Amino acid sequence: MNSDNKKLKKIVKNSILPVLSFTLFLGTVCYLNSQNYGLALEYNGEQIATVSHEEVYEKANHMIMDQLTADGKSKVESKYSQIKLVPVNSADCCESPSEIKNKIIENSQDIFVEACGIYADDKLIGVGENEESLRKMVNEAIEEQKQLNPDKNIDIMENIEFKTGFFDPDDVESNVDLKNYLFNETEKELKYITSENETVSSIAEKFDVSEEVIREKNDIAGDKVMPHDIIMIMFKDSILHFEISQTIEEEVEISFETEERANNSQYKSWSKVVREGENGKETFTYEVKYDVHGRELSKTELSHAVVSEPINKIIEKGTKEEPEGFLWPVPYTHNITSPYGPRWGTIHRGIDIAAAGVLGTDIIASEGGVVEKAAHGSTGYGNHVVIKHAGAYSTLYGHCKELCVSAGQKVTKGQVIAKVGSTGDSTGPHLHFEIRVNGKQDNPQKYI
Ligand SMILES: [Zn+2]
């Protein structure tokens, strides 16, 4: 590990530039132009080839140049041995440019070798033996990540390219070293200048690092930092980054709407839910991308589909204008058998409504309101309903055969609330009807 680190440091320091440029050679070539002579190419003090003309050598040189993955020159220039062209008898000529090229390469193994560079977003990040071995190394790293995330798709965030060319042999790494160097996270340091209103915790959140480490590293006691302070931030990072993606489905409810329908046979205060609403369902499919720490990088909608449409709620509402005042409570008959007032030595505090055949006919709410009481009983009023109206009014309906409403229920003017009966203290089927003002009975005939 230690030696790996050293080597990596060396790579970083040299910023691994491909070996470059024979420009220096050109400067030292002895210029000679004679038909009677060929030129011998001296390289590293050895005669390695002969050329008929300087241009042949230049062609070879260009061929090499074309294979150099250019970036910087200064590093390598000092390493080159000098090339000299010396005149020889033209009869001993001559090699072709490609032969010259191969000979220079053969004799330059200590300066440059043919190898393959791996580039991330156009930046050289490592050099390996050849493209095939580099691709294998990258695939192995992806496979290892797949083992850790079995049902997910693994990719590399950076755009990776491989380019074969000539590199400094010292920069060519083994696959094992390269894989560690490119994919393992190492401790990195960053100088951060604080701005107004920042704190240790906000900076920690921003860089996704621990507050403790920031405090320790920068010798800060609390949460407070001054603006324009330089803060050292330690974080872990790798050269290449895995992108782990997954397709997920999310279910979302679609809210139902409420439709209103007019009912012209009912009063305006009347309404009825004809159909209850039901929410629909929709599924969204997303591709979510994470880094190796599970941090979400992106979320893209791939598709969505309605699973079930919502069912709208339908409410019927009455449109008829409300009649003024109290309604007559028994539509079947308007016959009063016993009016409000003194009766048999006491006071009859309501009116009795009856006629032959009235038993079991409708009793309607004389005015809209809320049912205060819907009581069953065999004494006094018997089965009876009390409705509280707006203002200080309430109405009572006694001796009912059956009740159609219950306490707390809202009723509209004219709604059927009970059936005429003879329960409680009653001598025959009739409705005992009271109107109360502030709880005190008054003569209903004053109001109807
Ligand atoms: Zn009565």
Number of folded domains that form the chain: 5
Q: How far is the CA of 97 from the centre of ligand 1 (A)?
A: 130
Q: How far is the CA of 339 from the centre of ligand 1 (A)?
A: 8
Q: What is the pLDDT of residue 136?
A: 96
Q: How far is the CA of 352 from the centre of ligand 1 (A)?
A: 5
Same-domain status, 100 and 52: yes
Dump strand ranges (E) for 255-361: 258-267, 271-275, 280-290, 296-308, 313-320, 336-338, 341-343, 346-348, 351-353
Q: What percent of the chain has pLDDT over 70?
A: 85
Q: How far is the CA of 375 from the centre of ligand 1 (A)?
A: 17
Q: How far is the CA of 427 from the centre of ligand 1 (A)?
A: 10
Q: How far is the CA of 382 from the centre of ligand 1 (A)?
A: 11
Q: What is the pLDDT of residue 78?
A: 47
Same-domain status, 100 and 127: no
Same-domain status, 281 and 221: no
Residue where the block lists tokens 């996704």: 208
Q: Is 65 in contact with 23 (CB distance < 8 Å)?
A: no
Same-domain status, 438 and 395: yes
Q: What is the pLDDT of residue 92?
A: 57
Q: What is the pLDDT of residue 80?
A: 53
8 located within any domain: no
Same-domain status, 356 and 442: yes
Q: What is the pLDDT of residue 111?
A: 72
CB atoms within 10 A of CB 398: 26
Q: How far is the CA of 349 from the centre of ligand 1 (A)?
A: 7
Q: Is 199 in contact with 152 (CB distance < 8 Å)?
A: no
Q: What is the pLDDT of residue 51?
A: 77
293 located within any domain: yes
Distance separating the N- and C-terminal Cα atoms of the chain: 103
Q: What is the pLDDT of residue 106?
A: 78
| Average pLDDT of the chain to the nearest whole number | 84
12 located within any domain: no
Q: How far is the CA of 401 from the centre of ligand 1 (A)?
A: 15
Q: How far is the CA of 341 from the centre of ligand 1 (A)?
A: 10
155 located within any domain: yes
Q: How far is the CA of 348 from the centre of ligand 1 (A)?
A: 6
Summarize pLDDT for 237-271 with one digit per residue, the tens: 899 999 999 999 999 999 999 999 999 988 887 88
Q: How far is the CA of 381 from the centre of ligand 1 (A)?
A: 9
Q: What is the pTM of this model?
A: 0.56
Q: Which two three-digit tokens encode residue 273?
A: 């839910």
Q: How far is the CA of 350 from the centre of ligand 1 (A)?
A: 6
Q: What is the pLDDT of residue 138?
A: 96
Q: What is the pLDDT of residue 165?
A: 82
Same-domain status, 362 and 309: no
Same-domain status, 100 and 161: no
Residue 446 phi/psi, 5° resolution? -70, -20
3 located within any domain: no
Same-domain status, 196 and 107: no
Helix axes 2-14, 175-183, angle to 10 degrees: 70
Amino acid sitting at position 353: I
Last residue of a domain, one of 61, 95, 111: 111
Last residue of a domain, one of 197, 216, 237: 237
Residue 252: its H or E element: strand 242-254
Same-domain status, 218 and 157: no
Dump strand ranges (E) for 168-220: 186-193
Under 8 Å CB-to-CB from 316, ≥6 apart: which residues?
A: 260, 261, 262, 263, 266, 271, 272, 274
15 located within any domain: no
Residue 222 phi/psi, 5° resolution? -100, -140
Identify the bridge partners of residue 113 per DSSP, sorted by sequence position. Answer: 167
326 located within any domain: no
Last residue of a domain, one of 51, 81, 111: 111
Same-domain status, 438 and 340: yes
CA 265 – CA 314 distance, rounded (Å): 17
Q: How far is the CA of 408 from the centre of ligand 1 (A)?
A: 25
Same-domain status, 204 and 140: no
Write out the residue range of the structural domain in which residue 40 sits.
20-111
Looking at residue 280, which CATH number applies to its domain?
A: 2.20.230.10
Same-domain status, 411 and 358: yes
Q: Which residues of the chain have pLDDT under 70?
A: 1-37, 66-83, 89-94
439 located within any domain: yes
Q: How far is the CA of 343 from the centre of ligand 1 (A)?
A: 10
